[in-house]
C-alpha cells in the first residue's frame, strides 16, 4: 500500500491543553483496492489528551506512532465494506401507504460482517446473500461474507410511512427526503458513497382517474420510461458515487418542461420561461463562485403538492408548488438558490461526517443570500444577514448554541437543526468581511474546485482560505468553528 504522510507544524512553545495540540493530525493518501475508486484520502484527527502527547514527541516518533494507528485502523478486523452500487425497484401502494421494494446491493468487502441501516418501519420479507448469511434486526441488517472480493445481497421488503416519507393527501403522490434508510436498505454514513439505479413503478390501480398524468422524478440521470402491465416505469441512474442522503425522489401528477441543462416538473407549469431564466441566472452565479461545474450536468427542479419544502438530491431538488408560485409571483429566489447551491456544496463536495454538516447547509444558506445580493441588491442581502443574526441571538438565549464542528452529532437526525444553517452562514459572512471580497471568493473557488468529488471536513476549508489569503486563520476558526 504505497502511502504519503504529512504532519502539521511542530507545535513548538506550546503546553498541553493548547488548542493546536488537539488538532495534530496526519493525512494518509493511498490507492483504494475498490473498483471505480482512484484514491481515498484518509485524515485521522487525534483529540486531547492524545494530541497533547503527540505534540511532545519528536517528528519522527509522531509519524511512526500515527502511521501505526492508521495501519491498524485499516486492518481487516471487520469486513470494511464499500457499498458500490444500489439497484432499487419501488412500487408505491397508494391504498396502504407502503412502498414495495426489491433491492440488490453490490459491494466489495473483506471476509467478516458488513452492516447496513434501515428504519423499523422497513420490513424485510426475503433476503439472500450470494456468498454469505443475512441477519435482520429492527434497524440493522448484517451480512457475514466468507471471503474477500465482490459480493451482492438482495432484499424484498415493505416500507411503511415513517421519517423521510411523506404521502400527499387524496392519493396525490409522495415524496421522500434525506433518510434513505426509510425506503431502502443502505449505509447512511456521509463517509460512504455509492452509485444507484432507481426504478419507480406507478401502478394503475388504487388511483383516482387511474395513473394518467403521474410521473416520477428522481436523482441522477433520467433513464428509460415505459408502460408495462403493472404500471408506468421510470428509471433514474446516478453514475457518480454520492452519499445516500442525496437519493430522494417524488411521485405526483406533474407536467414536464426542459430547457437545455434544466428540467422543471410541476403540477401547473405557468410561466415556466421565467422559472428557467431565474434558475439559469442563479446557476451562473454559483458556478462562478465555485469555479467548477457541478457533478451532475443536468439539473431538475420538482415542485410537488403540499406546503413549502426543500430537499436537495444528486442533480435534483424537491420543492412545492407553492414555492414555484413564490418564485414566479414574488421573486422569492432564496429556496431555489439554496437547493441549487447544494449541487456544489453537498453533492460535488461532500462532508466526511455529520460533525461538519455546516459545510453543506451553512454554505447553501450563505450562497443563496449572496445570490440575493447580486439579484436584488446589497440592501436585500444586509436584511438577510440581520435576520440570521436575530435567529442566532434567539438560539443562544435558548441555550441551543453549538460549535459548527460538533462531534456529538452521531447521525443525520441529530445533525439537522438551525445551527449549521444560521451560524454557518454568519461565519462565512464574517470571513468575507475579514478577508475582503476578492480574497474571500478566491478562497471559496479554491476550496470547491480543490475538493470536487472528495469528502471534506472543516480543516479542508480552513486550509483553502489560508492559502487564498496568505494568512494564519487559526484564531478565527478556533473561535467560530471549533468553540
Residue ranges per structural domain of the chain: 4-74, 82-330, 349-482
68-102 pLDDT, tens digit per residue, is 444 444 444 445 555 689 999 999 999 999 999 99
pLDDT for position 207: 55
Residue written as grid cell 471471503? 147
Mean pLDDT throughout 422-451? Answer: 98
Percent of the residues in the chain that have a pLDDT greater than 70, as a whole number: 81
| Cross-strand partners of 99 | 92, 159
**Cell matching residue 234:** 421510470
- Which range, 96-100, 210-214, 414-418, has the best average confidence (pLDDT)? 96-100
Nearest to 98 by CA among 153, 52, 159, 179: 159
CB 151, CB 109: distance < 8 Å:
yes
pLDDT for position 137: 96
pLDDT for position 54: 45
pLDDT band at 210 (very low <50, low <70, confident <90, very high): low
143-156 pLDDT, tens digit per residue, is 999 999 999 999 99
Residue 301 parent element (H or E): strand 299-304
Topology at the third CATH level for domain 82-330: Immunoglobulin-like (2.60.40)
pLDDT for position 270: 72
- Centre a 10 Å sphere on the Cβ of residue 289 and count the other Cβ atoms it contains: 19
Is 82-330's fold the same as 349-482's?
no
pLDDT for position 355: 93
Q: Does domain 349-482 have CATH number 1.20.1640.10?
A: no
- Centre a 10 Å sphere on the Cβ of residue 303 and count the other Cβ atoms it contains: 27
Burial class (CB in 10 A: 0-12, 13-18, 19+), 424: buried
pLDDT for position 119: 95
169-184 pLDDT, tens digit per residue, is 888 899 999 999 999 9
Nearest to 371 by CA among 338, 322, 328: 338
Mean pLDDT throughout 228-243? Answer: 95
Strands 299-304, 262-266: pairing kind: parallel
| Model pTM score | 0.83
pLDDT band at 17 (very low <50, low <70, confident <90, very high): very low
Percent of the residues in the chain that have a pLDDT greater than 90, as a whole number: 72
231 dihedral zone (left: phi>0; alpha: psi -120 to 50; beta) = left
304-362 pLDDT, tens digit per residue, is 998 889 999 999 999 999 999 999 999 999 999 999 999 999 999 999 999 999 999 99
Work out the widest C-alpha separation in the chain, in whole angstroms: 76
> How many whole angstroms separate alpha carbon 95 and alpha carbon 203?
11
pLDDT band at 472 (very low <50, low <70, confident <90, very high): very high
> How many whole angstroms separate alpha carbon 8 and alpha carbon 63?
10
**In terms of pLDDT, which residue wins out, 29 or 261?**
261
CB 250, CB 302: distance < 8 Å:
yes
- Which range, 195-209, 336-350, 411-425, has the best average confidence (pLDDT)? 336-350
243-300 pLDDT, tens digit per residue, is 999 999 999 999 999 999 999 999 887 768 899 999 999 999 999 999 999 999 999 9
**In terms of pLDDT, which residue wins out, 295 or 58?**
295
pLDDT for position 51: 44
Residue 121 has pLDDT above 70, yes or no: yes
pLDDT for position 170: 85
Cα separations in angstroms, 153 against 105, 110, 145, 156, 424:
5, 15, 10, 11, 40
| Mean confidence (pLDDT) of the chain | 85
| Alpha helices, DSSP H, located in 291-417 | 321-329, 334-341, 358-376, 378-397, 412-415
pLDDT for position 84: 83
Mean pLDDT throughout 370-390? Answer: 98
Residue 6 has pLDDT above 60, yes or no: no
> How many whole angstroms separate alpha carbon 404 and alpha carbon 386?
20
Mean pLDDT throughout 123-142? Answer: 94
Residue 199 has pLDDT above 90, yes or no: yes
> How many whole angstroms separate alpha carbon 293 and alpha carbon 425?
22
Whether the bond between 49 and the residue before it is cis, its omega within 30 degrees of 0, is yes
Amino acid at each position: 500500500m504505497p502511502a504519503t504522510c504529512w504532519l502539521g507544524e511542530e507545535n513548538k512553545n506550546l503546553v498541553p491543553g493548547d488548542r493546536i495540540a488537539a488538532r495534530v493530525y496526519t493525512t494518509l493518501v493511498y490507492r483504494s483496492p475498490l473498483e471505480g475508486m482512484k484514491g481515498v484520502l484518509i485524515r485521522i484527527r487525534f483529540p486531547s489528551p492524545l494530541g497533547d502527547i503527540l505534540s511532545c514527541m519528536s517528528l519522527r516518533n509522531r509519524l511512526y506512532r500515527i502511521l501505526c494507528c492508521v495501519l491498524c485502523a485499516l486492518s481487516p478486523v471487520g469486513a470494511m465494506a464499500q457499498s458500490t452500487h444500489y439497484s432499487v425497484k419501488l412500487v408505491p401502494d397508494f391504498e396502504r401507504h407502503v412502498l414495495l421494494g426489491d433491492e440488490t446491493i453490490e459491494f466489495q468487502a473483506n471476509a467478516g460482517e458488513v452492516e447496513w441501516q434501515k428504519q423499523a418501519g422497513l420490513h424485510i420479507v426475503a433476503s439472500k446473500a450470494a456468498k454469505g448469511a443475512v441477519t435482520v434486526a429492527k434497524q440493522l441488517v448484517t451480512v457475514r461474507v466468507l471471503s474477500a472480493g465482490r459480493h451482492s445481497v438482495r432484499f424484498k421488503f415493505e416500507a411503511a410511512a415513517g421519517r423521510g416519507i411523506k404521502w400527499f393527501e387524496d392519493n396525490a403522490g409522495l415524496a421522500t427526503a434525506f433518510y434513505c434508510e426509510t425506503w431502502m436498505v443502505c449505509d447512511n454514513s456521509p463517509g460512504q458513497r455509492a452509485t444507484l439505479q432507481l426504478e419507480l413503478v406507478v401502478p394503475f390501480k388504487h388511483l383516482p382517474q387511474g395513473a394518467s398524468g403521474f410521473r416520477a422524478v428522481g436523482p441522477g440521470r433520467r433513464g428509460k420510461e415505459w408502460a408495462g402491465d403493472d404500471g408506468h416505469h421510470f428509471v433514474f441512474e446516478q453514475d457518480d458515487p454520492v452519499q445516500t442522503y442525496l437519493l430522494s425522489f417524488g411521485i405526483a401528477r406533474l407536467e414536464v418542461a426542459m430547457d437545455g441543462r434544466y428540467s422543471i416538473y410541476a403540477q401547473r407549469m405557468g410561466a415556466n420561461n421565467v422559472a428557467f431564466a431565474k434558475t439559469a441566472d442563479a446557476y451562473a452565479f454559483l458556478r462562478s463562485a465555485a469555479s467548477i461545474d457541478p457533478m451532475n450536468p443536468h439539473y431538475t427542479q420538482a415542485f410537488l403538492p403540499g406546503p413549502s419544502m426543500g430537499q436537495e438530491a444528486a442533480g435534483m431538488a424537491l420543492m412545492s408548488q407553492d414555492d414555484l408560485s413564490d418564485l414566479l409571483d414574488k421573486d422569492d429566489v432564496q429556496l431555489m438558490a439554496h437547493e441549487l447551491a447544494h449541487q456544489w456544496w453537498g453533492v460535488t463536495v461532500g462532508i466526511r461526517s455529520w460533525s461538519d454538516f455546516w459545510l453543506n447547509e451553512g454554505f447553501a444558506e450563505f450562497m443563496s443570500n449572496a445570490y440575493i445580493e447580486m439579484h436584488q441588491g446589497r440592501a436585500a442581502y444586509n436584511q438577510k444577514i440581520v435576520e440570521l443574526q436575530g435567529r442566532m441571538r434567539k438560539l443562544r438565549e435558548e441555550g441551543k448554541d453549538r460549535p459548527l464542528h460538533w462531534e456529538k452529532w452521531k447521525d443525520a437526525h441529530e445533525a439537522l437543526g438551525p445551527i449549521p444553517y444560521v451560524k454557518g452562514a454568519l461565519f462565512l459572512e464574517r470571513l468575507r468581511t475579514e478577508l475582503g471580497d476578492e480574497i474571500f471568493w478566491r478562497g471559496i473557488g479554491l476550496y470547491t474546485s480543490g475538493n470536487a468529488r472528495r469528502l471534506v471536513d472543516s480543516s479542508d476549508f480552513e486550509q483553502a482560505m489560508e492559502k487564498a489569503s496568505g494568512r494564519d486563520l487559526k484564531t478565527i476558526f478556533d473561535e467560530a468553528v471549533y468553540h
